[in-house]
A and B are shown apart, each in its own frame.
Chain A
Amino acid sequence: GENVEQHPSTLSVQEGDSAVIKCTYSDSASNYFPWYKQELGKRPQLIIDIRSNVGEKKDQRIAVTLNKTAKHFSLHITETQPEDSAVYFCAASRRTGTASKLTFGTGTRLQVTL
């Protein structure tokens, strides 16, 4: 089955700096890579996703890059703000018939300090 590794487990940046979180996956057939943000005590929520036919996607201060050859993808947050402090999860999935399941990384706790 799919295995997703995520690094680092914790990340502390100063407000205004950039943050980068990296993930690798094992199943070369995976073709969907979402990123979820989970604030303390809350549910995970999708912040951005990318499909395998695209190498990069950007949404305001958030961008994701995908390298299918190397089987890794990264989340980039620019101009970080205190409200970006949360746990971020990467995930990978491939469609099997009419269903698919996500395999999540272990999470990165991002702390944005003033």
Chain B
Amino acid sequence: DAGVIQSPRHEVTEMGQEVTLRCKPISGHNSLFWYRQTMMRGLELLIYFNNNVPIDDSGMPEDRFSAKMPNASFSTLKIQPSEPRDSAVYFCASTMNPLHEQYFGPGTRLTVT
């Protein structure tokens, strides 16, 4: 298996633009997680899905952030409009069972100027 796949790996955009990050979990995994990592705030859980259903989105910082999982093999995290403080590395992770290893993707480094 190729592991968790994220795209793009790097994104540079201007303030006010819409940004869409994409994730393909490992086949057979039924839980998917979106994290944001910054020096100041560390690794934060934004939202997670179980069987394509959002379970907990309490970590989503603002209404500018939204996430979808239309099927078991694809999820998106959208920021509209983007702001410089959204600059971070965004990780997607998946797991096949609760209380088991989460496998992280390579991350998307987002820079908003």
Identify the A interface with B (CB < 8 A): 1, 31-32, 34, 42-46, 49, 51, 89, 93, 95-96, 98-107
In the bound complex, CA of A60 to CA of B91 (Å) = 29
Closest 9 CB pairs of A and B: A100-B98, A99-B50, A43-B104, A32-B99, A46-B101, A95-B98, A104-B43, A106-B42, A99-B55
In the bound complex, CA of A9 to CA of B18 (Å) = 35
In the bound complex, CA of A59 to CA of B101 (Å) = 16
Residue from A49, A101, A104 within 8 A of B56 (CB atoms):
A101
Residue of A nearest to B105 (CB): A43
Q: Which of B23-75 contact A (CB under 8 A)?
A: 31, 33, 42-43, 45, 48, 50-51, 55-56, 58
CB of A100 within 8 A of CB of B42, answer no
Nearest CB in chain A: distance from B112 CB, A: 20
Nearest CB in chain B: distance from A64 CB, A: 14
Number of interface residues of B (CB under 8 A): 20
In the bound complex, CA of A70 to CA of B6 (Å) = 39
Across-interface contacts of B50 in A (CB, < 8 A)? 98-99
Across-interface contacts of B111 in A (CB, < 8 A)? none
Residue of B nearest to A1 (CB): B58
Residue of B nearest to A49 (CB): B101
CB of A43 within 8 A of CB of B98, answer no
Q: Can you give 28 contacting A-B residue pairs, CB < 8 Å? A: A34-B102, A44-B43, A44-B91, A46-B101, A46-B102, A51-B99, A89-B43, A93-B98, A93-B99, A95-B98, A96-B98, A98-B51, A98-B98, A99-B50, A99-B55, A99-B98, A100-B31, A100-B99, A101-B33, A101-B45, A101-B48, A101-B55, A101-B56, A102-B33, A102-B45, A102-B102, A103-B45, A104-B42
